[in-house]
A = this chain, B = another copy of it.
């Protein structure tokens, strides 16, 4: 008897009609001879509505209380899902994060799972019950309600799969899986059958919003294989798993696009130790999340340091760097929004040279100018004009033969 952990996201349980459909799928999974734990998110829109309520009573809601409030979203879904399964003749029991034994640290609104005590889940499974667990939430060791922050429900599912040593973890969402590129951008994008954790991580951190990086990292760390599937159909989805030697045969697994980027360049920075640290200390202190950082070799003891941030971070940036720029004697700061990032990802590129050249060649043929380049072992990322991003993605997708029928 296999143990399967399923996770259903907000759109999958977005209406009571959808919840009934999900209930049917969960029950069928059990009836096929499996033990089933299903982790569910808040119905889509509910979390935002709760945050609006909070803002109506407080300009800066206490984070402890925000967690108490937000936790009601998933609690509503577990109850409705369990009822719907029972209405179909199944036997389901709902558990809040606290009841399921999800123990976290006390960092409200972005708690980390410190431990899972699965005795209650196991007891219920042993009784033949379907267990419905509230995603995104837990409790501290002293019993306070916490939430896990963005992507928290995925994390709940993968952590439960890890602690129960589940045979399979299925992450249900509203897309068919992970694609070679966003099909809205590249119409002939293909669904990826199997992807390694590292590739998935690079795709996620490069804008493929199927899952948050932290859940993938957690899965990698605890060797949890999982499938990303569509709850609206029965297609097999994308398997995310350990890297296998055969995976290297595919040089490029996919292309990821991130819009709404901004590029900040600090010009003519004295090329001395400690200068970069000084700049990024200021940025980190303002809680601005930096993505790419590029610094060229300096000429005449001066260099340009460039970095990218999400455009939404620009407001926080403001004139934050001006004093530092003066202090270190740099020439000035140029902020340029309206850029986007294109990333080419694949563990195969480790053993294949020429990937960068092929990408640059493809973009150059389209007359697309590359403003920044950054590489990791399994990724090449470039910053280009946002207006050209769709064209660039299609050119790169074709260049690496990723498309349907390529």
Is A189 in the interface zone, CB < 8 Å from B?
A: no
Q: Which of A71, A82, A143 has the most CB of B within 10 A?
A: A82
Q: Are B71 and A75 in contact (CB under 8 A)?
A: yes
Contact in complex: A84, B64 (CB < 8 Å): no
The answer, among B23, B69, B84, for a CB contact under 8 Å with A80, is B69
The reply to whether B68 and A79 form a contact with Cβ atoms under 8 Å apart is yes
Q: Decide if B80 touches A16 in the complex (CB within 8 Å).
A: no
Most chain B beta carbons < 10 A, residue from A57, A82, A94: A57
Whether a CB of chain B sits under 8 angstroms from the CB of A45 is: no
Interface size class of A (residues with CB under 8 A): 35 or more
Q: Is A286 an interface residue (CB 8 A)?
A: no
Binary interface profile of A, 73-114, with partner B (CB < 8 Å = 1, else 0)?
001101111111011000001101001000000000000000
Contacts of A20-63 to chain B: CB distance below 8 A: 20, 23, 50, 53-54, 56-62
Interface of A is mostly: helix
Contact present for B62 and A86 (CB under 8 Å) = yes
Bound CA span A61–B82, Å: 9
Asked if B75 contacts A62 (CB within 8 A), the reply is no
Does A66 make an interface contact (CB < 8 A)?
Answer: yes
Question: A58: which B residues are within 8 A, CB to CB?
Answer: 83-84, 86-87
* Distance A59 CA – B16 CA, assembled complex (angstroms): 13
Contact A60/B87 with A16-B53, A94-B68, A143-B99 known, Cβ cut-off 8 Å:
yes
Besides A20-B57, A61-B83, 9 other A-B contacts (C-beta < 8 A): A54-B80, A57-B81, A57-B83, A57-B87, A58-B84, A60-B87, A64-B94, A65-B94, A69-B83
- Which A residues are within 8 Å of any B CB, using their own CB? 16-17, 19-20, 23, 50, 53-54, 56-62, 64-66, 68-69, 71-72, 75-76, 78-84, 86-87, 93-94, 96, 99, 120, 143, 145
Mind listing 5 A-B residue pairs with CB under 8 Å? A61-B87, A65-B83, A69-B75, A69-B76, A69-B80
